[in-house]
Structure 1
Amino acid sequence: MSIARTVHRHLDVDDVRVFYRESLPDRDDAPVLLLLHGFPSASHQFRRLIDALGARYRLIAPDYPGFGHTQAPEGFTYSFDRLADVMEGFVQRLGLTRFAMYVFDFGAPVGFRLAERHPERIAGLVVQNGNAYAEGLSQAARDFVALRPETPGAEKTVRDLLTPSGTRFQYESGVAHPELLAPDGWTLDQHFLDLPGRKEAQVALAFDYHTNVESYDRWQAWLRRHTPPTLIVWGTGDPFFPEPGARAYLRDVPDAELHLFETGHFALETHLADIAPLVAGFLDRVWCEKS
């Protein structure tokens, strides 16, 4: 069995020092997969997937500003547009001209912004509980998106999600077999959330989330126009992004491959053995068609 060799590096994008993990595959022309993480996590959420697939494929997982090991300057403006700006610069600095994207949770709004700006770079999409449709928002998610800074109690509502119990809830909710969950994920996430300035960054992003919902029509039009090869893997017990959000993609990319799993938001934590082979097969098909 081949285990990936993974390097851990920093790359400067303007005044942001971006941390990223990158596998070193056995061949120079290996397919490239950009792994875009979710909330409240960072690139470490992909470490087992990188171990599983990184010997055959070039997997690259950066941390956004406000997450993980990435260092943003004081005064950085936390919005989804700015996260996408930094990731766009990161892709350019690495010299990536063609790659597939794995978009999970926050990775979807970041990734779709990248796709809109440079559709020629996107070889395919792996969508894992990354929403782009109104029907993919649970009532809890709708209530959260509706929060505004001036709403009484709104900031407290956001901050309550950034506590150890709130972080653990996101991992455990909807999971059929919680014994499959390693506690390392939410423990490490909480470590980063508790660093100076990180909660303020997350509050700002929470209040900016409505810009993503307002962009759904554009992203759906992009999917219809470009019809990228798409693999959808989705945890059906997700308390934020329920199953209808997965099925909705089929309206705009009817040839997409859809797989549903009886688990929660962080489907890779419990179903890596199911999802990794699907991702490998997808990358092989996409690069075979490209060549």
Structure 2
Amino acid sequence: MAPSSETALSAPGHGPAAVPELPRIRHRFAEVDGLRIFYRETGPADAPVLLLLHGFPSASHQFRRLFDALGSRYRLIAPDYPGFGHSESPAPGDFSYRFDTLADVVEGFCQALGLDRFALYVFDFGAPVGLRLATRHPEWITGLVVQNGNAYEDGLSDLAREFIANRHGVEGAAERARAILTLEVTRSQYEGGTGDPELVSPDGWTLDQHFLDLPGRKDIQVELALDYHTNVARYPAWQEWLRTHRPPTLVLWGRNDAFFTEPGARAFLRDVPDAELHVLDTGHFALEELLPTIAPLIDDFLARTQK
């Protein structure tokens, strides 16, 4: 008699493969200086903390797959800045959208959650926000994961330099900054430089553009674009912090990034010679195409450096 389906499923070699338990991701708000700041959190409460700071024009959703990959072993926390994602977004007349104030909010967010020892993941806009935080509170930072987060003039492409030249008082600067806030440009940031665009989900750029198209959001992004030059002025201070504190550092870099070029990745080795560097054959949003490569590198780095 043929075995029943129940018997066949329970027989050795025929049972369902064990599926690793996926982490539970919680979606919460914290109040920081009167603003409701959205954040994602997962992982054991007593595990090493990785604070993830997102880039432009995205939000904490850019880390959703990394949360699944690492959230069972580490406590991952990713906020949305004001004016991004699900966080409160007051009009520019009611809130000063500057990189200094984004750092103020992230600093207050850490204090609201009682975060005072963590590794820091910085990507794109996350680098100027996170490095401001690090120079204010070096005692908080137990390690640094840099993914296409620039802190050296070496890493500025011609396209990036043109973007940074836009600032208040420069004729046509606001119009040029607004011109990049389109679906075509948002999509190109995800697919540009990738080896296989079919590996890049359209969900990321579609959601980013949804938020960009909400009332008032483009005005916010123009204000931040016109303030970006203040980050370049801070590069020497951030480099000094790296030289002085030598945090355990992992640098992950998509070499085909149209904004932040490979020399910017290698420049970190000048100030943190023991940094671990991986230059990857992809573009700006490296996690989108190469998460299976990147997640194990982060896992190994955190396991070695965060206790």
Is the structural similarity TM-score above 0.5?
A: yes
Aligned counterparts, 1:271-286, within 5 A? 271-286=290-305
Q: Deviations over 1:118-174 (max 9, x none)?
A: 000000000000000001000110111011233332222111110111111111111
1:94 aligned partner:
113
Aligned counterparts, 1:1-291, within 5 A? 1-25=20-44, 28-74=45-91, 75-288=94-307
SS at match of 1:125: strand
Q: Deviations over 1:37-56 (max 9, x none)?
A: 00000000000000110011
RMSD (Å), alpha carbons: 0.9
Distance 1:241 1:144 in 2: 12
Distance 2:155 2:226 in 1: 19
Instruction: Confirm or deny: 8 A CA contact 1:7 1:24 kept in the other structure.
Output: no
Q: How big is the shift at 1:233?
A: 0.5
SS at match of 1:215: helix
TM-score (norm. length: structure 1): 0.96
Distance 1:236 1:127 in 2: 13
Structure 2, unmatched stretches of 5+, are: 1-19
TM-score (norm. length: structure 2): 0.92
Instruction: Confirm or deny: 8 A CA contact 2:256 2:284 kept in the other structure.
Output: yes
Structure 1, unmatched stretches of 5+, are: none
Q: How big is the shift at 1:73?
A: 3.1
SS at match of 1:231: strand
Q: How big is the shift at 1:24?
A: 3.0
Instruction: Confirm or deny: 8 A CA contact 1:15 1:72 kept in the other structure.
Output: no
Alignment length (residue pairs): 286
SS at match of 2:219: helix
Distance 1:73 1:258 in 2: 39
Q: Deviations over 1:51-88 (max 9, x none)?
A: 11001100000000110000033411100000000000
In structure 2, what residue type is equivalent to 1:197?
G
Distance 2:64 2:191 in 1: 19
Q: Give the stretch that moved more between structures: 70-79 or 101-110.
A: 70-79
SS at match of 1:265: coil
Task: Report the identity percentage.
Answer: 67
Instruction: Confirm or deny: 8 A CA contact 1:134 1:213 kept in the other structure.
Output: yes
Distance 1:183 1:171 in 2: 9
Q: How big is the shift at 1:251?
A: 0.2
Q: How big is the shift at 1:177?
A: 1.0
Q: Deviations over 1:81-115 (max 9, x none)?
A: 00000000000000011000000000000000100
Q: Deviations over 1:223-248 (max 9, x none)?
A: 00000000001100000001000000
Distance 2:48 2:21 in 1: 16
